[in-house]
Amino acid sequence: MAVRHQVIERSPLRVWDVLADPSLFSRWVVGVSDSGPGEGTWPELDSKLVYKISLGPWTGTGRTVVRRVEPPYILELEADSGPLGTARIAIEVRPWGRAESIVVIDEHPLRGSAGTLHNVAVDGFLQVRHRSMLNRLAEVVEESGDREPEPSAP
């Protein structure tokens, strides 16, 4: 199981704005080069997002389904990579002080051959991928708007 976290200098609502925008998915998810809505209204329960996957010379398509959603704090997804099977990707957005968030990503293979082949090396790869993905998410979130002003003292 690969779990990684990062502080993002915006509130959970600002982070959620990015997670809830299917057009921004390809900007922060590593390996995705284009994304758009599939079925339903993203990120409602059972809605789907479709995307193009590019890894070196190989390209393919994928889809991700929302399996659990509690805005603006919880988004759990099942990513389908075709012949490799599916993975559970849980994203938790926790408030951190008045205007920051801690984002935790927890990913592991769920169905298919990916689950059978899962090992420590795969977790190492996921850790590297998550580091990059969380950095990219932070960049997209932090460029999306100013920090919320801190409340003034009475």
User: What confidence tens digit (pLDDT) does each residue in 24-56 have?
Assistant: 988 888 777 777 778 999 999 999 998 887 777
Locate the domains of the chain by residue range.
Answer: 2-30+66-143
The pLDDT-based confidence of 67 (bands split at 50, 70, 90) is very high
On average, the pLDDT of the chain sits at: 84
Amino acid, res. 153: A
Size (the chain), residues: 154
**DSSP codes joined into one string, 89-124:** EEEEEEEETTTEEEEEEEEEEEESHHHHH--HHHHH
- pLDDT at position 152 over 50: no
Architecture of the domain delimited by 2-30+66-143: 2-Layer Sandwich (3.30)
CA-nearest of 44, 54, 50 to 23 is 50
Whole-number Å distance between alpha carbons of 29 and 101: 18
Give first-to-last CA distance, the chain, whole Å: 46
Q: Which range in 15-29, 52-66, 110-124 is most confidently predicted, on average pLDDT?
A: 15-29
- pLDDT tens sequence across 121-130: 666 666 666 6
pLDDT-derived band at 114 (thresholds 50, 70, 90) equals: low
Residues 52 and 29: beta-carbon distance below 8 Å: no
Predicted confidence at residue 107, as pLDDT, reads: 85
- DSSP states along 10-58: S-HHHHHHHHT-GGGHHHHSTTEEEEEE-SSSTTSTT-EEEEEEEETTE
Measured in whole angstroms, the distance separating CA 106 from the mean position of its chain's CA atoms is: 10
Q: Binning pLDDT at 50, 70 and 90, where does residue 153 land?
A: very low
Query: Is pLDDT at 116 greater than 70 in this prediction?
Result: no
Q: Which two tokens stand for residue 98?
A: 């008045």
